[in-house]
Structure 1
Amino acid sequence: MLNMKGHEDESGMVLDIRNLSSPARSAALNRFTDESVEVATSVPGRKLHKWVAGSFCLLCILQAALNVSLRLALPLQQDSMKKELEEQKRQLDYMASQVNVLTNEREELKRKLEDFAHYAQQGWLYFNGSFYYISSIAKSWQDSRDNCSQRGAVLAIISSREEQEFIRQQQKVMWIGLTDRETEGVWKWVDETPLTASFWYSGEPNNFKGRNEDCVVINHYYSNENNWNDAVCENEYSWLCEKHM
């Protein structure tokens, strides 16, 4: 064993290298170095080999566990992504449908505003979703109906007390779209709907003096809520057209 003083030879004696000549001293050091390398590569090398082999086995086990984990996790991840994509698609479809609804509503509102401006300029009156046109001349019931058709409207159909009140306030004798010409006593509106709410003046309808009174006119009893009167359809009165918005 080499120390600060010397080197042990094969006989076990400790030699003091300080007393050796330079060539002998170099030879002793070279011999020590060769022995040290042999020891370092023999004894620690076996431990290193075992450590490397153990580490490799551990890495193999970890790799196998990782592969199993990935195979188990991948389907779950794919299902989660699929559900997320489906939810996003559903939301996009819903948003697209809402855009279409809003677009249609905007177009409908635009059309109504244009109609409102048009009919207001033509002198039509607006009430509760409908425009009303009161003629300034007189015609028979059928000619009045035809005139309303030409205007894209119908002779007025009164379906509520509020509408009757609005029409009564115009204080004008005029035809409305109610008749029993098809079947006597069965009153229908021009759109073929049956009469439900009625506002007949007292004693009406009555086919006065046996005349064939098959068409209805708003009479001159403006102060009375009930002011309908059946009249001969060939009589000439003003008329009231109605156009639903």
Structure 2
Amino acid sequence: MVRAAHREQSEIITEYVNLPDVPARSRLSKAGEETPAAAGRKLFRLVAVSFGLLCILQVILNISLRFALYKKTSGIEIFCNNMSETDELRKLADHYFQQGWIYMRPSLYYISSTRKTWKDSRKDCLQRGADLVIIDSEEEQDFTRMFHKLMWIGLTEGGRKGEWQWVDGTPLTTSYWGPGEPNDFEGKTEDCVEIKFHDNKNSWNDIPCDDLNFWICEKKVTL
């Protein structure tokens, strides 16, 4: 009986020792594959990463759509390239961007989608807290030509013939007149100036102020 009892006890111990590692085996299926729980955790991580990438792609897409038009011209820093200056400037430019403005240091610009006389065009700019553009650099001249429109600029002939001045009262010093301009073509009174988009950098043209044209407003940014 002692032997029998001893043998029975040994068998019980052996069975206990050889019990399967339940936690370890629960991680894998019989075929060595992950259990649904482990696969679920991996799926959750994959979904989280995918969602993050989707958000990044959405931001890139939004920015690309906004600035696709203005990145066509090389060598000109426009809106998004200049938005690293200050948080206040970013907020300000974004506010104006929603209203159709474009930023090129140090000004905001609005390009009309309709035609008006020079006087009415300036009135529209003033109502927007701006004025017709004053072109005082070669960079700004190139920038205004990139929109491929005939547009009023803030230059008119003063009280005396041949004296041109900007809307802020300053006299014209550096000009970009087209060949043979200004000329009062065919004896007309041409006291207002439009900008053309020809390949020639010198693209200003004097025309009658009552002609209908697109226009470009300029608003200086001061922070």
TM range (shorter): 0.5 to 0.7
After superposition, give the CA deviation of every residue in 1:22-61 in whole Å (9 maximum; x if it has no partner): xxxxxxxxxxxxxxxxxxxxxxxxxxxxxxxxxxxxxxxx
The alpha carbon displacement at 1:181 in A equals 4.2
The alpha carbon displacement at 1:140 in A equals 0.2
Contact 1:134 1:241 in 2 (8 A): yes
**Within 5 A, what are the aligned runs for 1:49-198?**
109=86, 111-198=88-175
After superposition, give the CA deviation of every residue in 1:169-205 in whole Å (9 maximum; x if it has no partner): 1111000000014322100000001111100000000
The alpha carbon displacement at 1:113 in A equals 3.1
Counterpart in 1 of 2:206?
A: 230
SS across alignment from 2:218: strand
Q: What is the aligned residue count?
A: 137
Matches of 2:218 and 2:171 in 1, distance apart? Answer: 17
Contact 1:169 1:222 in 2 (8 A): no
Contact 1:135 1:238 in 2 (8 A): yes
The alpha carbon displacement at 1:115 in A equals 1.8
The alpha carbon displacement at 1:124 in A equals 1.0
Matches of 1:122 and 1:202 in 2, distance apart? Answer: 36
Matches of 1:134 and 1:185 in 2, distance apart? Answer: 28
2:179 pairs with 202, 211, 230, which one? 202
Which entry has the higher C-alpha Rg, 1 or 2?
Answer: 1
The alpha carbon displacement at 1:149 in A equals 0.1
Relative to the length of structure 1, the TM-score reads 0.54
Matches of 2:212 and 2:132 in 1, distance apart? Answer: 14
5+ unaligned residues in a row in structure 2: which ranges? 1-84
SS across alignment from 1:138: coil
Moved over 6 A (4+): none
Matches of 2:90 and 2:129 in 1, distance apart? Answer: 17
Relative to the length of structure 2, the TM-score reads 0.59
Matches of 1:182 and 1:141 in 2, distance apart? Answer: 17
Matches of 1:214 and 1:110 in 2, distance apart? Answer: 42
SS across alignment from 2:159: coil
Whether 1:243 aligns to 2:219 is yes
5+ unaligned residues in a row in structure 1: which ranges? 1-107
Percent identical pairs in the alignment equals 53
Matches of 1:155 and 1:128 in 2, distance apart? Answer: 17
